[in-house]
Amino acid sequence: MFIDGRTLPAGTVIETDIAIIGAGAAGITLARELRDSGRDVTLIESGSLELDADTQALYEGESGAVEYPIAESRLRYFGGTTNHWGGWCRPLLPLDFDGRTALGIPAWPLTRAELEPYYRRAQPICQLGAFDFDDWEPWHARMGLTPMALPGDELVTRFFIYSPPTRFGETYREDVAKAANVRTYLNSNVTEILPNAEANRIERLKVATLGGNGFEVRPKLCILATGGIENARLLLASNSVQAAGLGNGHDLIGRYFMEHVTAPGDVAAIALADETRIPYYYLHTPDVDQASMRAILMPSDAYLKRSNGLSISLSLYAAHKPGAEPKADTKQLEPAVIAMLRSLEGDAKDGMIYGVACALEPIPSAENRVTLTRERDALGLPKSKLTWRPTRAERDSLTGNLGALARAFGAWGGAVKVLLPEGTDWADDEIGWGNHHMGTTRMADDPKQGVVDGNCRVHGIGNLLIAGSSVFPSCGAVNPTFTIVALALRMADHIKGGSLG
Amino acid sequence: MIFSRRHLLAGAAALAVLPRHAFAAAADEAEGLLALLPDRTAAAKLGESWVQQEHPQAQAVLQKLRNLLPDGNAMKLREVIAEDFRAGAVVKVEGWQIARTQAELCALAYFATTGKL
């Protein structure tokens, strides 16, 4: 059932077993999974079923370092940011869960093996085809695909499988609407999460609408699922009992914000004399089963361990013929490079220049953080300020990884030009991002290291859970939505099993 | 030893003649290697950039390539280049990361097309 919160009489009190704040990928997955749980579920969504400018404006905030599109990078209505996501899916790698101390990347309190069954259940939810992200054999058997035989052991081919992309708000609207035990309150904004005097249990949620009325939700269990920036914002703003913010006894909430570093343009160019050598599934996203796929290049585990480097995903596309579209002098040598490479091919193909785009694993840094400003939004909630800037170490790792790309393609008969200047720190116009907001309420067994425990329960607050990418202690080099859904499924199982109250 | 005017003239004549012979021989030797480059004029531009950057000696480049690729064989070249990348023998020419042997082959094309062998 959908209920417009603006129609509730002011002062209404809603008692519920489980309150879920936020109806994005995590919140909707949880609501669907809890349909037959026998628990009364209240799903509270700030927006309505369509985008509304005034509601979206509640996301507006400040950038403290890199000028970041803090409002535009997410969507505040039923379905959340899945209303505009690109659909890139693949699970984190086992190595991503292990942590790498020398880089300051913490381990997760759970392993890939523990999350594996939930990834497999997330597969149909995200409307993906087969669960074949790393293994060539199924692709070869189905479609005759074979990998590029790049020499060396530094780079390997892996796959992204693309969701259509699933718009959770549209695709699962009916499921949520028809669930007898789920009531969804639209146009309803939680403005404070109120605990008891000891701050070890959540008692009430203050809810306000832009229409001016307010009501209250009293949950036995509360799940915060409003995204990587908003989760931190709401906890920091919930300071009636704990002045530093709810669950913020160790000054961790908002810190360790992570983003995948990309670049506004290509990070490298690859020249090949034979334009038929890179298979089309590295350059395009062909349809397979219900979805589409793309082969990408990533560093091997062995290389990452050897180089002490960060993970990266490298995607290729055919950019232009050699020397075409010359910009200043940057492409003057392309025909010469191709002429040189023909010494290895021995035929008269035209050659091709390929562009390389990347998503780089970030190093979690306490200085990259979400804080509150003095300015308030239309509901009186402090606005968020996002201070994020990738580090020199990340840049150095990126250029190191591009060196591996150069070695692999060079030994394969190609040539690589790194387009990012080496030996310098980031210039503002070199920094791109994936609109992935992660890490601000990160997961750790030790309350001094993380906001939530391995079950995504806030340390010290028995009935407050956090869902979404804000709990990621690290994030590899892959898009977060698939992992968000897998973690939500795991949380739902734990709730239904009674282990989370 | 006292040099007569005749000795000096003969020596000067020899100096004038011998390099021409040497140049012709070097050009011949280079030809087998340059046959690997279907478009040596284009490849020479890359060679020119690298020569201006590293200032290698033409004869040294020729000698090294002749030793590495005595038959001017493309398959052998592929192996040599792969080995360069494995061994870190990589140079950057206007940002392009190429095997040192590739740079030298292009340099040879540059020396040959500009009469500097």
CATH of A1-98+108-124+166-260+364-390+435-501, one of 3.50.50.60, 3.40.50.10490, 3.20.20.210, 3.30.1320.10: 3.50.50.60
Q: Provide the pLDDT for residue A242.
A: 95
pTM: 0.93
- A342:B94 CB<8 A: no
Residue B117: is its pLDDT beyond 90?
no
CB A182 within 8 A of CB A38: no
Q: Provide the pLDDT for residue A215.
A: 98
Q: Provide the pLDDT for residue B4.
A: 40
- B96:A411 CB<8 A: no
In the numeric block, the tokens 């990834």 are attached to: A119
Chosen from B34, B50, B68, B85 to mutate, greatest number of chain A CBs within 10 A: B85
Residue of B nearest to A417 (CA): B96
Residue of A nearest to B79 (CA): A411
Q: Which domain holds residue B61?
A: 5-113
One-letter amino acid at A110 equals L
Residue of A nearest to B46 (CA): A336
Instruction: Using CB atoms, pick whichever of A151, A343, A419 lies closest to residue B82.
Output: A151
Residue A293 is given by DSSP the state: E
Contacts of B102 in chain A (CB under 8 A): 340, 343, 415
Establish whether the linkage from the previous residue to A195 is cis, with ω within 30° of 0.
no
Contacts of A346 in chain B (CB under 8 A): 38, 74
Residue of B nearest to A322 (CA): B42
Q: Provide the pLDDT for residue B38.
A: 86
> Angle, to 10 degrees, between the axis of helix B100-113 and the axis of helix A334-345?
110
> Helices then strands (H, E): number in chain B?
5, 2
Maximum CA extent, chain A: 80
One-letter amino acid at A400 equals G
Tokens of A323: 């020397």
Instruction: Using CB atoms, pick whichever of B39, B85, B94 lies closest to residue A410.
Output: B85
Gap between the Cα atoms of A206 and A40, Å rounded: 19
Residue B23: is its pLDDT beyond 70?
no
- B98:A415 CB<8 A: yes
- B46:A340 CB<8 A: yes
Report which of A476, A388, A492, A432 is spatially closest to residue A63, judged by C-alpha positions: A388
Maximum CA extent, chain B: 57
Cβ-based neighbour number of residue A381 at 10 Å: 20
Tens of pLDDT along chain A (501 residues) come to: 999 999 999 999 999 999 999 999 999 999 999 998 999 999 999 999 999 999 999 999 999 999 999 999 999 999 999 999 999 999 999 999 999 999 999 999 999 999 999 999 999 999 998 899 998 999 899 888 999 999 999 999 999 999 999 999 999 999 999 999 999 999 999 999 999 999 999 999 999 999 999 999 999 999 999 999 999 999 999 999 999 999 999 999 999 999 999 988 899 999 999 999 999 999 999 987 667 999 999 999 999 999 999 999 999 999 999 876 555 445 578 989 998 898 877 666 789 999 999 999 999 999 999 999 999 999 999 999 999 999 999 999 999 999 999 999 999 999 999 998 887 899 999 999 999 999 999 999 999 999 999 999 999 999 999 999 999 999 999 999 999 999 999 999 999 999 886
Q: How many domains does chain B have?
A: 1
* ipTM associated with this complex: 0.85
One-letter amino acid at A337 equals V
At A331-359, the pLDDT tens digits run 578 989 998 898 877 666 789 999 999 99
- B78:A413 CB<8 A: yes
Residue of A nearest to B102 (CA): A340
Tokens of B77: 């070249």
Q: Provide the pLDDT for residue A468.
A: 98
B92: part of which helix (H) or strand (E)? strand B90-93
How many residues does the structure list for chain A? 501
Q: Provide the pLDDT for residue B10.
A: 36
Q: SS3 sequence, A185-217?
A: EECCEEEEEEECCCCCCEEEEEEECCCCCEEEE
Query: Domain coordinates of chain A in residue numbers?
Result: 1-98+108-124+166-260+364-390+435-501, 129-162+261-360+395-430
One-letter amino acid at B65 equals L
CB A19 within 8 A of CB A217: yes
Establish whether the linkage from the previous residue to A165 is cis, with ω within 30° of 0.
yes
Contacts of B78 in chain A (CB under 8 A): 344, 413
**Cα torsion A160, A162, A167, A173: sign:** negative
> Angle, to 10 degrees, between the axis of helix A334-345 and the axis of helix B40-54?
110
